[in-house]
Amino acid sequence: MSTESKAEKPQGEGVLARLDSQATTSFYWYLALLSCIGGFLFGYDTAVVGSVLDFIPYELSNLATGYLVAGASLGAAVGAFAAGPLTDRFGRKSLLIVDAGVYAVGAVISAVAGNTETLLIARTLIGLAVGADSAIATAYIAEFAPRSRRGALMIMQQWMITVGILISFIVAVVTFKVAPDEATGVDWRIILGVGALPAVIALALRTRMPESPRWLMLKERYADTQEAFKTLGMEVTQEQVRDTAEELAETERQLERKTQWTPGVKRALWVVCIFFIFQQITGINVPFYYGPQLLGGYFQAGNSAVDAAVAGVMAAAVLGLVNVVATFFAFRYIDKIGRRRLAMGGFLGMAVSILVAALGEATLTGLPRVWVVMIGFSFFISSFAIGVGGTGWLIQGEVFPTAVRGRAAAACASVNWLANFVIIQWFPTLNEAFGLAWVMVLFAALSVLAVFFVARFLPETKGRALEDVTEIFERQATAKESPG
């Protein structure tokens, strides 16, 4: 039998095949939700700074302001990269627990910070935790999710991000409305500190999660693997677990792989990294980081700084709600339409929508301008939510083999955060130099490039076992299979 035909043979015909065909019970959804609380914190952290930036009563240099807004992304890049080898060594569950604890500490410190330096330290801690969590969550879900609903379960990461963004806006509006005279007093502290609550909940509940059965099997911890399968609703024996582990090891020996970082793994790595770069540089986070400032002038009713902040945050909250609702369509279609076609449609929709917003910004005034810009932004965000946001986190978790999944997913998450930092750091400069309309045109052009990239390099992986997904990239790396 040839190497290629062996690669095409379905792998893991023992307990992993049974796991892949399990019914997706409410417990699976619960685990996905719990895994992705870090996504909620990611979203909350993304949007919360823009709401409170004008009310932090400390002297902030331009450097400190820039770090306060975008520097957490650098911390996240470091956290994600560090999480990779740690999660491959110590497990997915252990790192998810640590991440929640670090975020809780960072959120509390940011709420009680008495000076700029302490606040920046807290933001760094939050970044480290959010970055590490973003590297682990989807990898963990991929390793227990049934193949028929793996996409929907992993989209939970993107949905939780959108919910976190929306909740941050709601918390800011309510806090400013309840105590408008305390904007520079306790308001900003409350808004930053609220993030500690879901982190503490995650810390408590994640201790009861099962460890990834695929990771346990890789580490030859067969008794623990048996227990993890039992928690997931499967009764298996240690002998069955051992047989499946030996079968997978034999497949690797037959393929004569001398390294875990095979050509297929390397190809998958750069494909996901470039997808993540496009995900960020096409501008999706600009409305959430800078939305309160960009949109406040469109809706401001009063003359005070708090009036302007509330108006901007409420406008951004509308976009946040659109983001949450649109992500439900990703749940519905990701396992039906597939990753590749949905991503192409998402990027194309982003290009068209942001051009509409650019046209409104450049040519209209008054209420028509408000309507066109908001509608353009809404469809831009919807296109991202349905086809791009969740797809990136999904492929990050499913295209790598178990032995290197943690490290590879972490490297991709680091690239995501670095790209986020670059576009958020450069946006004010671009906006000042070229104007908002032309920056939108740039985002549209990059979205079109992303369509061509996906069409050329991203294969379809829906409905495949994890062990088979990795073989798609191996065949592509040796030019034996086209992306479609």
Residue 6 has pLDDT above 60, yes or no: no
Instruction: Tell me the per-residue pLDDT of 278-301, one tens digit each, with 9 for 90 and over.
Output: 999 999 988 877 766 676 666 655
Look up tokens 């066109």; give the residue.
372
Out of 23-37, 285-299, 376-390, pick the least confident.
285-299
Instruction: Please tell me the distance from the alpha carbon of residue 256 to that of residue 10, in angstroms, as a whole number.
Output: 18
What is the reported pLDDT for 67? Answer: 77
Rounded average pLDDT over 53-75: 79
3-state SS of the chain is CCHHHHHHCCCCCCHHHHHHCCCCCHHHHHHHHHHCHHHHHHHHHHHHHHHHHHHCCCCCCHHHHHHHHHHHHHHHHHHHHHHHHHHHHHCHHHHHHHHHHHHHHHHHHHHHCCCHHHHHHHHHHHHHHHHHHHHHHHHHHHCCCCHHHHHHHHHHHHHHHHHHHHHHHHHHHHHHHHCHHHHHHHHHHHHHHCCHHHHHHHHHHHCCCCCCHHHHHHCCCHHHHHHHHHHCCCCCCHHHHHHHHHHHHHHHHHCCCCCCCCHHHHHHHHHHHHHHHHHHHCCCCHHHHCHHHHHHHHHCCCCCHHHHHHHHHHHHHHHHHHHHHHHHHHHHHCCCCCHHHHHHHHHHHHHHHHHHHHHHHHHCCHHHHHHHHHHHHHHHHHHHHHHHHHHHHHHHHHCCCHHHHHHHHHHHHHHHHHHHHHHHHHHHHHHHHHCHHHHHHHHHHHHHHHHHHHHHHCCCCCCCCHHHHHHHHHHHHCCCCCCC
Instruction: Please tell me the distance from the alpha carbon of residue 375 to that of residue 482, in angstroms, as a whole number.
Output: 37
Q: For residues 328-367, b (16+ Cβ closer than 10 Å) or e, as one string?
A: eebbebbbebbbbbbbbbbbbbbbebbbbbbbbbeeeeee
Rounded average pLDDT over 258-271: 88
Rounded average pLDDT over 29-58: 88
Q: 10 or 194: whose pLDDT is higher? A: 194
What is the reported pLDDT for 302? Answer: 56
What is the reported pLDDT for 9? Answer: 40
The CATH class for the domain spanning 3-477 reads mainly alpha
Residues sharing a CB contact under 8 Å with residue 75, sequence separation 6 or more, in sequence order = 123, 124, 125, 126, 127, 128, 130, 131
Residue 257 has pLDDT above 70, yes or no: no
Residues sharing a CB contact under 8 Å with residue 346, sequence separation 6 or more, in sequence order = 383, 384, 386, 387, 388, 391
Instruction: Tell me the per-residue pLDDT of 122-134, one tens digit each, with 9 for 90 and over.
Output: 988 998 999 999 8
The domain spans of the chain are 3-477
pLDDT classification of 208: cutoffs 50, 70, 90: very high
Instruction: Please tell me the distance from the alpha carbon of residue 89 to that of residue 85, in angstroms, as a whole number.
Output: 6
Instruction: Tell me the per-residue pLDDT of 97-148, one tens digit each, with 9 for 90 and over.
Output: 999 999 999 999 999 999 989 998 998 899 899 999 988 998 899 999 998 8
Instruction: Tell me the per-residue pLDDT of 362-381, one tens digit each, with 9 for 90 and over.
Output: 999 888 988 899 899 999 99
What is the reported pLDDT for 5? Answer: 40
Rounded average pLDDT over 224-244: 92
Q: 101 or 428: whose pLDDT is higher? A: 101
pLDDT classification of 303: cutoffs 50, 70, 90: low
Q: How far is CA 417 from the centre of its chain?
A: 10
Residue 317 has pLDDT above 90, yes or no: no
Residues 415/273, Cβ–Cβ less than 8 Å: yes
pLDDT classification of 421: cutoffs 50, 70, 90: confident
Instruction: Please tell me the distance from the alpha carbon of residue 482 to that of residue 484, in angstroms, as a whole number.
Output: 6
**Whole-number percent of the chain with pLDDT over 70:** 92
Instruction: Please tell me the distance from the alpha carbon of residue 11 to that of residue 421, in angstroms, as a whole number.
Output: 40
State the pTM of this model: 0.84
Phi/psi at 201 (5° precision): -60, -45
What is the reported pLDDT for 76? Answer: 87
What is the reported pLDDT for 226? Answer: 94
Instruction: Please tell me the distance from the alpha carbon of residue 430 to that of residue 213, in angstroms, as a whole number.
Output: 47
Rounded average pLDDT over 338-363: 96
